Amino acid sequence: MFVVRGMLLVVILLMALLCPVSAFTNTGNVSEHSFIHLSGYMDEMKIYQTDKGFKGQKLVVGTQGSGMVSRTQTAYVTDDEIYFNEWGVFDYRPYLVESSKSDLRNALCAKNYAMGTVVSESYSDLTYLIKDTTIYQDNTTSVYQIGSHFRGTAKIGARVKDGPRGASVMTYGGTYIGDVMIREEIGVGDDFYLTCP
């Protein structure tokens, strides 16, 4: 009985050592495209990395403050490289948050446990909201497209991990207040079934 268990343990260890490392990663490539036009206040941060700890490449980008913002961002993250481009016009203007008695709210949260992805969006204190969100998920792909135009407050966040227990590849959190138009697309995997907006 001991010999059988010992042999089984040796076989399992050999399989683990001989299997390629990529067989244990579920994420594949990550792409993110975003456009924002805002007149109001924003507090946003995005973190991209190819590996955890003091390995690989890291990139952090953030924007905070009030004014008029028109900006696009494009990012691609693979297992060993990061591409990032940001184009924007930032014009400071003081902005006072108006107290609203609106109880109009909207929220959505989508998780893909097989891929290790989650995206959430919530809206509150709304005067109006025009929204178009499209989601495609299966065990090898996650595609999230958020399109919204609103007056009020929005909180949008996302996290992409290298599989359910792996390192975070992308982390995104943003709060937007005022008159805002957002287009955000996050694609994870090798095959995307939705086109970019």
Q: Is the pTM higher than 0.75?
A: yes
Say how far apart CA 73 and CA 45 lie, in whole Å: 12
CA quadruple 197, 107, 47, 166: dihedral sign: negative
pLDDT tens track for 115-129: 889 999 999 999 999
> What average pLDDT does this structure show over 163-170?
82
Locate 190 and state its tokens: 């090798």
Say how far apart CA 161 and CA 150 lie, in whole Å: 30
Say how far apart CA 182 and CA 155 lie, in whole Å: 11
Summary mean pLDDT of the chain:
84
Selected residue with higher pLDDT from 145 and 29: 145
Say how far apart CA 67 and CA 39 lie, in whole Å: 6
| Residue 175 pLDDT greater than 70, yes or no | yes
115, 116, 174: which is closest to 146 by C-alpha? 174
Length of the chain: 197
CB 150 within 8 A of CB 129: yes
3-state secondary structure of 158: strand
pLDDT tens track for 61-105: 999 999 999 999 999 998 889 999 999 999 999 987 776 678 889
Q: Which of 96-110, 160-174, 178-192 has the lowest mean pLDDT?
A: 96-110
- Spell out the domain ranges in the chain: 26-189
Selected residue with higher pLDDT from 26 and 107: 107
pLDDT tens track for 8-28: 444 443 343 333 333 335 566
